[in-house]
Amino acid sequence: MVRYFIFKEKEVTEVDTLTEAKWVHMTPPFENGEHVQWAEEFNIPIDFITDSLDVDERSRYEIEEDSKLILLNTAILNKSDKDNQAIFVTSPIGIILQADRIITVSQEDCPIITKLVNNLVKNFRPSDSSLFVLHIFEQNVIWFLDCLKKLNLKRNLIEQELYNSSRNEELRQLLRIEKSLVYFVNSLSTNELLLMKMKRTDFLKVRGKDPHEDLFEDIIIDNGQALEMSNIYTNILSGTMEAYASIVSNNLNTFIQRLTIITIILMVPTLVASFYGMNLKHLPYQDSPYTFYVLIAISVILGVFLILFVDKKSVKK
């Protein structure tokens, strides 16, 4: 799917033809060979498009003749709700800068592009290509921070459920959150390297332009904050999982200990009764009418003795 946009002052307006378009946004699915045709149409390497659709591509930038490619990783809500899948995954956004046109490529419609298309970004001046890219960076960091807040809130709710139950459902949800955070840490790390390299090389030509340079600095700081939050939440979640595993193991040990004590207590009276259950002659008092009651009394006395003995040992510990 290919959409065309023009810039009117601080707004983005969609149009029907490529001729007047200043911004072109491309998302799959493409018809057979369509992305090759678009690469030829825009006079860009086919790798610029295919790399932007590869979920395993790292954040980076390239320069090829008159075109510049920026690959930026962003968070995408996972459409799969399977228990072994992360809640959020990451996917690149390709930003291709040309002299008279900006081309963006993404695996699917992402919230960042949606906000730009719907003119929901404050102080947005799309006609300035450098500022256009910086606004994509800024909205990407904001989106990451928003996703992190949602994951942390979900984690808190699941932990409260774990205090009252030990169902596997909550554990699977925590694993999904943990996978999402791993994706976030990796993507934010590569995004940080990209931003620092772009700043060092002045890739966007913003050095000396106060509004642009200040915004770039803020983006780098916010991206670092998002990365730090991801690491903190990952450590908290790892600690929670380890603590819960220790609690489950401790509870299991306590249960086994109690079961063992009960088994020993029941075993001794059973042993006494077993002796008189043997089919043997000349057992003591086997003909006495009080033998049964004596055996019951002996079993009870031994059982009480074992209970007091175990209880005394437990108090000493």
Rounded Cα distance, 223 and 275, in Å:
78
Residue where a domain terminates, one of 233, 249, 265: 249
pLDDT score of 316 more than 70: no
Contact 73, 190 (CB under 8 A): yes
Question: Would you place residue 282 in the very low, low, confident or very high pLDDT band (cuts 50, 70, 90)?
Answer: low
Rounded Cα distance, 98 and 78, in Å:
32
Rounded Cα distance, 255 and 245, in Å:
15
Amino acid found at 177? I
- Shared domain for 68 and 133, answered yes or no, is yes
- Shared domain for 235 and 298, answered yes or no, is no
Rounded Cα distance, 281 and 130, in Å:
105
Q: Is the peptide bond before 29 cis (omega within 30 degrees of 0)?
A: yes
Structural domain count, the chain:
2
Question: Would you place residue 151 in the very low, low, confident or very high pLDDT band (cuts 50, 70, 90)?
Answer: very high
Helix axis angle, 168-201 relative to 129-164, nearest 10°? 160
- Shared domain for 264 and 243, answered yes or no, is no
Please classify residue 228 by burial: count the beta carbons closer than 10 Å to its beta carbon, then call 0-12 exposed, 13-18 middle and 19+ buried: exposed
pLDDT attached to residue 315 = 52
DSSP annotation of 1 reads: -
- Shared domain for 150 and 234, answered yes or no, is yes
- Shared domain for 240 and 130, answered yes or no, is yes
pTM of the entire predicted model: 0.80
Residue where a domain terminates, one of 203, 222, 249: 249
Amino acid found at 19? T
Structure tokens at 158: 């699941």
280: domain CATH number is 1.20.58
Average pLDDT over residues 120-128: 79
Strands 60-64, 23-26: pairing is: unpaired
Q: Tell me: the pLDDT tens digits for 52-93? A: 988 888 999 999 878 999 999 999 988 877 777 899 999 999
Alpha helices in the chain (DSSP H): 34-42, 46-52, 111-117, 129-164, 168-201, 210-275, 291-316
Task: State the average pLDDT for the chain.
Answer: 85
Return the ∠ at Cα 58 (arms to 101 and 222), rounded to 5°: 80
Residue where a domain terminates, one of 200, 230, 249: 249
- Shared domain for 70 and 218, answered yes or no, is yes
Rounded Cα distance, 7 and 132, in Å:
11
- Shared domain for 244 and 265, answered yes or no, is no
Share of the chain above pLDDT 90, in %: 33
- Shared domain for 158 and 269, answered yes or no, is no
Rounded Cα distance, 158 and 152, in Å:
10
Q: What is the residue range of 267's domain?
A: 256-316
pLDDT attached to residue 121 = 82
Of residues 25 and 247, more confidently modeled: 25
- Shared domain for 208 and 302, answered yes or no, is no
- Shared domain for 96 and 166, answered yes or no, is yes
- Shared domain for 73 and 45, answered yes or no, is yes
- Shared domain for 260 and 212, answered yes or no, is no
Average pLDDT over residues 138-147: 94
